[in-house]
Structure 1
């Protein structure tokens, strides 16, 4: 399942990159090939080739170099636009800081509140777990059993951040799977995330400059990260249907439903159901049963 989650996230990230670049477009409920001749899509394809070549040459910082080069190439194509003006500004947190509003918490009744809490908790928990597996997998940081090891402490960090976020007027905190780009490029400590945080703080003031980078320049990195992550599918026991089918469903449901949690939920439920029906229920760990029941409860509550 861990390998399936990582591979499914790879497909998800690649799909987002393809859609953002225009290489693939969504129309009438179907995914179609985009307009290759448009400047933005052509630039994205060019950026994908440039970054791919740099990675093949094992150039350090290939993705960052690819983004910068693609951004610069976007100027003559009219995709990259220079900001009309640069102004430094910082919004005040005072309207949101330590100002929670619980006035409408029971406006729809107790059941909708429970449903919302269970659903959001499950989604946040497994979105975070999926992102951690994704990032650790890309960096070959999983232990010999395929577990997160000490990197599981990231779950605690997200939990504490999520608890503190409402006091700042912010939504729940999540781990962006895009962080795998840094790990894939060699990051192995928390220093790169600290540097990213500092750059985000600078971007608050320099938003017009940060906004110069077009989506066509960043999308190739997402596609290439998807490529790096899909190799985890080779570790799945495809010859065992009771394992292969839940893993396959997990892999395809993550991008198809646009939800990591839903993909994981479908995988757990199908694995438990197939194992029980085929008489192999005794081999299932207790925690798997617990997670399956939680997912079933989440879907039942969501349907009410």
Structure 2
């Protein structure tokens, strides 16, 4: 079995081994398993039933991640996009008064458009048109973004109405466990212990139980709820309504550039880009994402997208689709072991995300800090991602600033036609949307 997996996913060729890939897949799953319970709670606000959405979340995540594993052979997992699901519930359903059935139809439409664009290679051209300096900036920006998410989930950084964010109460058991988990991971990583992030998550989860931070479930196995109430409930009756297409465009824009940013950032960090800075098999990776979005809408959940938490598996050595395969299998098992999955607290996964952020900051060592016209756009992308809480926004303002800076410093020859196209798209988006 191991030899078949090694040959199928070209594990040795990628400089990895089956054991490392399995550990990486488990690590990726542990850092993103929160979506199994967070997504249904958000979608429930839109009037959708919690149990069926939880089942749909696991199925959509497993399906899309399997596509990534077998089509693109990349260690990238997919699931329902955070932020996009909040827009679905609070912006579209509650804010615009659109039914969740119509919102699912809009997401399905977006997915079909993505599939068509991917087959025409437009999305692939966008990925490969981004200059190397911006790719480094995107990777680093995602590092800061994912660190911010980790610190928030651990309760170390909290909301402060006066200055937006502030320091949380570090005396709480949750914060103390998160800090302890972080230094356990750092120590194990410094000692070259394989699976340092995963071991840290497991140790803190075990320590959380006697402290009452998390509780052991009464049972470990449960049958998953039926998805019948939400399966294939797409409503296209409002397709001629302008609001329907506004929703489609919003989902399209954010999903498009979130996916591009995640693919560029994670694969750049993993050293998967070729000598020209292009992403091999970009078409296959983007197709997995597009099909996953359409399938997710049919199953009954919001937009499926590539997950930045995949970087945690990459940092544990994951380099092939075998990592994604393991993550997908765990999403399927989670359908039956959801009580067990639920015991992993945020204070265990939070420090893991901070560790991943540190790893992704290492991309800066490849940067040429003497070239001002590359430095400024990259820094704008880096700063925008965590401060706006959006990968798409980081790409947008990175591209806009790149074109402007290059143009006014007499380096127009460094601006590709695709970058000009993206510049125009982003400017029009800011003007009209």
How far did 1:238 drift?
2.5
- Selected match of 1:251 from 347, 360, 382: 382
Match of 1:241 in 2: 372
Name the counterpart of 1:42. Answer: 176
**What is the aligned counterpart of 2:273 among 142, 157, 178?**
142
Cα 1:169/1:80, change in 2 over 3 Å = closer
Deviation at 1:44? Answer: 0.2
Are residues 179 and 199 of structure 1, via their aligned partners in 2, closer, same or farther at CA, if it must alter by over 3 Å?
Answer: same
Q: Which residue of 2 aligns with 1:19?
A: 152
Confirm or deny: 8 A CA contact 2:239 2:245 kept in the other structure.
no
Asked whether the 8 Å contact 1:137–1:229 carries over to 2, the reply is: no
User: Counterpart of 2:348?
Assistant: 217
Give the Cα separation in 1 of the matches to 2:154 and 2:209: 16
Deviation (angstroms), 1:101: 0.6
Structure 2 distance, partners of 1:233, 1:77, is: 39
CA deviation profile, 1:11-56 (whole Å, cap 9, x unmatched): 0000000111112222114222221111000000000000111111
CA distance in 2, matches of 1:202, 1:292: 44
Question: Matched residues in 1 for 2:211 and 2:301: separation?
Answer: 37
Distance 1:122 1:241 in 2: 29
- TM-score by length of structure 1 reads 0.92
Aligned: 1:268 with 2:402: no
Q: Which residue of 1 aligns with 2:223?
A: 89
Selected match of 2:250 from 108, 119, 129 = 119
How does 1:1-304 map onto structure 2 within 5 Å? 1-28=134-161, 29-86=163-220, 88-106=222-240, 109-110=241-242, 112-151=243-282, 153-302=284-433
| SS of 2:194 mapped into structure 1 | coil
Structure 2 gaps, min length 5 = 1-133
C-alpha contact (below 8 Å) 2:251/2:303 kept by paired residues = no
**Aligned counterparts of 2:188 and 2:414: Cα–Cα separation in 1:** 46
TM-score when normalising by structure 2? 0.66
Contact kept? 1:135, 1:179, Cα under 8 Å: yes
Deviations 1:172-216 (A, max 9, x none): 220111111112112222122112111112212221111111100
Gap regions ≥5 residues in structure 1: none
Distance 1:182 1:236 in 2: 24
Q: Count residues with an aligned counterpart.
A: 299
Q: How many angstroms apart in 2 are the aligned matches of 1:187 and 1:119?
A: 33
* 8 A contact 1:272–1:288 mirrored in 2: yes
Equivalents in 2 of 1:116, 1:279: separation in Å? 39
Do the aligned partners of 1:115 and 1:301 also contact (CA within 8 Å) in 2? no
